[in-house]
Amino acid sequence: MILIVGGGKSSEIAAEEVIRQGAVPLRLVLPEETFSFLPDVETVKGRLLSFTGVQGNFQAEIEIDREVKKFNVGAAVIAVDETPKVSDTDCITLSSILENNYLKCSGTIVILLDAKKPSRASHIVAVEKAIEIKDNNPDCRIYIITPEVRTFGLDELEYCKAQKKGIIFIRAEDIKHSSGKMKVTDSPSGKVLDITPDLVITDEEQEVKNAALWAKAFSINLYEDGHFRLGNVSRGPVTSMRNGVFLCGTASRALLPREMDTSARAAATRAVTASQTPLMLNSAEVDEEKCASCMTCVRVCLFHAPSINEKGKSEICRDLCQSCGLCVNLCPASAISFKGVSRIELRNAVDDVLRCLHE
């Protein structure tokens, strides 16, 4: 069984890919979140209380309407997507008019793309919507105002098509928009353009809801702007900082629809492979009488493995420890050691290496 977190598009693709690869997905969504229905995927609305265990056999404790259930899963995929931030602008937002494809407007339409944290696909979505409006109302004038036109890869052809249809693109930074009048200074040339738009469409700032909640449950870290921190490049493409937990979806990286599809399928594949190959890392052990409870290990471990137990001594959680040995080195009382790895072994290793060098 593979635990898939999130209610958006990425989790759909990931779930479908997991089924295709012969495993059973369990999709988890927070109670207050909306999610798209998938026929043969068991979707559960609940709160993840704890996620213990190692890759290949995790135990997830989920509270589903006040009743705690335990699930045994092989791997987890966090496929949470960004959602538009509810903002109180009076203009129409891009996401709200996506479904309405018979928009009637004959005047001038301005699409403003200058949100602080936009989604990566907002520009191509805006261009495609502009073409569609232009087709439905041939005599309307459409301006798209944005500092940069970000239509990546093959979307560039849509951008050319839009220009051929007479949609005007203005690269502008400062846009004064007050009571129906708009003053736009074209940043390259500095010329000022006055527009009286009949309809203003803006793109929204994206945010990741409940990122901290998921990060705490899975004990993985976040970036400051609230996105999930990816594993370093040396850990592989869709990994997080914890073995067996994989990241895809726009909550970790900015993705176009096609990229989102690839990343979700890759994460699903890695998860299915990971659940079949359990990982047995020997975790560090703390010798309780030697421990001076000085919290050094708790502070230096970036994987949140050590913690001070009720006896006031340090204890290292077997599931989170990735046996990197940093705490073994830094513990002032040398209370932490591995099965078979301690200060003396390290010292002897140095001696042997140098002895055979001198032969």
Q: At what angle do helices 122-136 and 155-164 cross, to 10 degrees?
A: 30
**What distance in Å separates the CA atoms of residue 339 and residue 210, rounded to the nearest whole number?**
38
Residue-wise DSSP of 290-327: T-----HHHHH-TT--EEE-TTSSEEE-TTT-----HH
What does the angle CA 127 – CA 132 – CA 135 come to, to the nearest 5 degrees?
125
Structure tokens at 162: 């839009």
> In the bound complex, what is the minimum distance in angstroms from residue 200's beta carbon to other proteins?
21
Comparison of 30 and 274: residue with beta carbon closer to other proteins: 274
Cα–Cα separations (whole angstroms), residue 185 to 113, 134, 172, 180, 200? 15, 24, 6, 17, 17
Q: Shortest approach of other proteins to residue 29 CB, angstroms?
A: 24
The least CB distance from residue 198 to other proteins, in Å, is: 28
Containing H/E element for 120?
Answer: none
Nearest approach in angstroms of CB 48 to other proteins is: 24
Which residue, 61 or 128, is less far from other proteins as judged by CB? 128
Which two tokens mark 295? Answer: 């919290």
Residue (33 or 114) nearer to other proteins, CB: 114
**Residue 88, number of CB atoms within 10 A of its CB:** 4
Question: Least distance (Å) from other proteins to the CB of residue 185?
Answer: 12
Q: Cα angle at 291 between 289 and 292, to 5 degrees?
A: 115
CA distance 48 to 68: 9
In the bound complex, what is the minimum distance in angstroms from residue 119's beta carbon to other proteins? 10
Give least dist CB 108 to other proteins, A: 24
**319 vs 218: CA distance, rounded Å:** 11
**Nearer to other proteins by C-beta: 173 or 198?**
173
CB of 215 to other proteins, least distance (A): 15
- Residue closer to other proteins by CB (options 51, 159) is 159
Burial of 121 (0-12, 13-18, 19+ CB in 10 A): buried
Q: Which is nearer to other proteins, 117 or 209 (CB)?
A: 117
Residue 205 burial (CB count, 10 A): 15
- Rounded CA-CA distance 282/287 in Å is 15
User: Given the complex with other proteins, which of 29 and 83 has the nearer CB atom?
Assistant: 83
For other proteins, give the closer residue by CB, 29 or 319. Answer: 319
CA distances from 260 to 8, 22, 138, 160, 251 (A): 11, 21, 33, 24, 11
Q: Tell me whether residue 48 or residue 331 sits nearer to other proteins (CB atom).
A: 331
Least distance (Å) from other proteins to the CB of residue 61? Answer: 27
